[in-house]
Chains A and B, each alone.
Chain A
């Protein structure tokens, strides 16, 4: 296989960055989940009327 370095670099960079970004999001979500009370954790609500 020619240009192995470039090919590996492109794949590793893509998967590495996406994995790192995913982990960051998951950790942020975990931290926030522990701080927000369960009643306020509804994901897909479109209005804020039923909160507070």
Chain B
């Protein structure tokens, strides 16, 4: 037992495996093809002109943001239902990756908005405003997780927040949409984001979504393993401390019994 606990692994190990290595290779090749499709093969849009090329990253990133928030919600529900550590790692990992994708959605959306709407921020665009609220919501979730820290037990508080947050997605989206009704005249600029796209553009978009799904999966696997290792390290540290305590106690007992024997001998 003690030997197993004190044995330290050889450094140089990673969270990768042959599967993730292959996945990574496919992603890199896929990104090159996506770039080629987006910049060489597809034509500029009639309305959006060349800025349509931003869509091939913006839309996949946005979809992955929502997908990650949903996974986080499912994981949170499973933690509350089963008390599962595995799902707690999944929820935490998905929440963090979701914030990364969500922030990128905002950033690319604003970069696209500048040439299209003439402004970085358009309060009239429901999706952008909703995305900002969701990112803020999940930043709160992440700060709660970082405050509770690694305990080696799934966090029910984080799970409740994760579950409520995923329930808030339609609520936030709907209320922003209704709130937005006061600015009906801006609808025209907003719907410009939904151009009639031809077959090749649609293919590029779908291809981009698939590639970003793979990226999401790759990130999720690695981030999950990091979370798992963090917990294991925490539990290992605790187990090690317990071992040391027991060793100390037995040492003291041994010393005491030796001392007792000495005293007996003297008398």
B183 at the interface (CB under 8 A from A): no
Contact assessment for A34 and B111 in the assembled complex, using a CB-CB cutoff below 8 Å: no
Q: Across the interface, which residues of B come within 8 angstroms of A51, CB to CB?
A: 232, 235
Q: 8 Å CB contacts to B: which residues of A7-39?
A: 7, 9-11, 13-15, 17-18, 21-22, 25-26, 28-30, 32-39
B75 nearest CB across to chain A (Å): 13
> Which single member of B219, B228, B233, B239 contacts A43 (CB below 8 Å)?
B228
- Chain B interface residue count, CB cutoff 8 Å, equals 52
Measured between alpha carbons, how far is A28 from B226 in the docked complex, in Å?
Answer: 7
Asked if residues B233 and A34 are in contact (CB atoms below 8 Å), the reply is no
CB < 8 Å neighbour of B225 from A29, A37, A48: A29
Number of interchain pairs (Cβ within 8 Å): 136
> Contact: B14 with A40, CB < 8 Å?
no
Is there contact, CB below 8 Å, between A46 and B85? yes
Q: Which chain B residue has the least Cβ–Cβ distance from A25?
A: B222
Q: CB of B198 within 8 A of chain A?
A: no
Task: Give the interface residue-count category, chain A.
Answer: 35 or more
**Which label, helix, strand, loop or mixed, suits the secondary structure of the A interface?**
helix
The distance from the CB of A7 to the nearest CB of chain B, in whole angstroms, is: 5
CB of B78, distance to nearest CB on chain A (Å): 10
A31 CB to closest chain B CB (Å) equals 9
Q: Which residues of B contact A (CB under 8 A)?
A: 4-5, 7-16, 31, 35, 44, 49-51, 53-54, 57-58, 61, 84-86, 100, 103-104, 107-108, 111-112, 114-115, 152, 215, 218-219, 222-226, 228-230, 232-233, 235-236, 239
